[in-house]
């Protein structure tokens, strides 16, 4: 059974009534509940726990890590970022949500600024499927809408994705590559744009479905072994 862990910064729910009202138990809560209902084993971790809740032991038992952060990216310790990066490269799946685009771990794995345009007026977002054969799109009917969301607009400073799955249309006039896949080492990374903290996005069935699909896609699977380092003997006789 795939073991999922949702890392939520979990600060804004405590400091801002406008967030707490929407997500009284944390914005991870509806996602965790949905994934459990789908049969996944799901834990949660957050910034203010020791080691941000991401001890070696926790990560060793995590197949897919979800990441939501916004106000305190800078407080995430580099040693934990190193640890998560190593686990991803060794095969753990990583799903980065919304404002996690600016997290240390996402910028670390991308190598770019991950910067973008944004606007917070609760406009309509429509996510179009541009890779309808991709398993992350299972059950989606060519597009789905989120009635009110924060806008993220291009240029989104990321490496060219290995696969682009969703492109968003915003009522205010922008577009955004809102679902993008990367292979990094043996791990799979999915960035999924929706999820502003004052809006009920993580209760919406299509959003939950995409996240659950992404968990399945990102989970480690049997694959090849590899070698690094010094191999002084040639395989072939030279000469």
Applying CB under 8 A, among 14, 117, 147, 205 the residue interacting with a second copy is 117
Cis status of the peptide bond prior to 155, with omega within 30 of 0: yes
Q: In terms of CB distance, is 24 or 133 closer to a second copy?
A: 133
Cβ neighbourhood burial of 93 (10 Å; 0-12, 13-18, 19+):
buried
Choose the stretch contacting a second copy; rule: CB under 8 A; options: 13-21, 30-38, 62-70, 103-111: 103-111
How many angstroms separate the CA atoms of 67 and 88, rounded?
Answer: 13
Among the listed ranges 2-10, 13-21, 39-47, 231-239, the one in contact with a second copy (CB under 8 A) is: 231-239
185, with CB counted inside 10 A (0-12, 13-18, 19+), is middle
Q: CA angle 113-76-121, nearest 5°?
A: 60
Tokens representing 119? 């606007």
The secondary structure of 13-28 as a DSSP string is HHH-HHHHTT-TT-TT
Interface with a second copy in residues 123-162 (CB under 8 A)? 123-124, 126, 128-135, 137-142, 151, 153-157, 159-160, 162
- The residues in 12-71 that bind a second copy, with binding defined as CB under 8 A, are none
DSSP-based three-state secondary structure for 101:
helix
3, 20, 164, 203: residue in contact with a second copy (rule CB under 8 A): 164
* Options 21, 77, 183, 205; binder of a second copy; rule CB under 8 A: 183
Q: Which stretch binds a second copy (CB under 8 A): 3-11, 63-71, 168-176, 193-201?
A: 168-176
Q: Which of 29, 184, 200, 203 binds a second copy (CB under 8 A)?
A: 184
- Binding of a second copy by 203 (CB under 8 A): no
Which of 41, 49, 51, 163 lies at the binding interface for a second copy (CB under 8 A)?
163
By CB under 8 A, tell whether 215 contacts a second copy: no
Contact (Cβ atoms closer than 8 angstroms) between residue 169 and residue 152: no
């Amino acid at each position: 059974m795939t073991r999922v862990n949702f890392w939520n910064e979990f600060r804004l729910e405590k400091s801002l009534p406008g967030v707490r009202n929407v997500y009284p138990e944390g914005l991870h809560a509806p996602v965790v509940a949905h994934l459990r209902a789908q049969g996944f084993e799901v834990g949660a971790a957050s910034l203010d726990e020791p080691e941000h809740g991401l001890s070696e032991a926790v990560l060793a038992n995590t197949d897919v890590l979800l990441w939501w952060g916004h106000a305190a990216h800078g407080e995430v310790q580099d040693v934990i970022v190193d640890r998560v990066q190593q686990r991803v490269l060794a095969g753990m799946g990583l799903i980065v949500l919304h404002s996690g685009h600016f997290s240390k771990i996402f910028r670390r794995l991308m190598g770019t600024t991950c910067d973008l345009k944004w606007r917070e007026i609760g406009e309509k977002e429509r996510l179009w499927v541009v890779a309808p054969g991709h398993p992350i799109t299972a059950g989606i009917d060519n597009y789905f809408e989120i009635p009110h969301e924060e806008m993220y607009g291009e240029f989104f400073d990321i490496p060219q994705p290995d696969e682009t799955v969703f492109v968003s249309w915003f009522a205010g006039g922008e577009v955004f590559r809102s679902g993008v896949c990367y292979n990094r080492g043996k791990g799979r990374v999915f960035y999924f744009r929706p999820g502003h903290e004052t809006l009920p996005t993580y209760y919406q069935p299509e959003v939950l479905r995409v996240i659950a699909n992404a968990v399945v896609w990102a989970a480690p699977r049997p694959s090849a072994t590899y070698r690094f380092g010094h191999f002084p003997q040639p395989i072939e006789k030279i000469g």
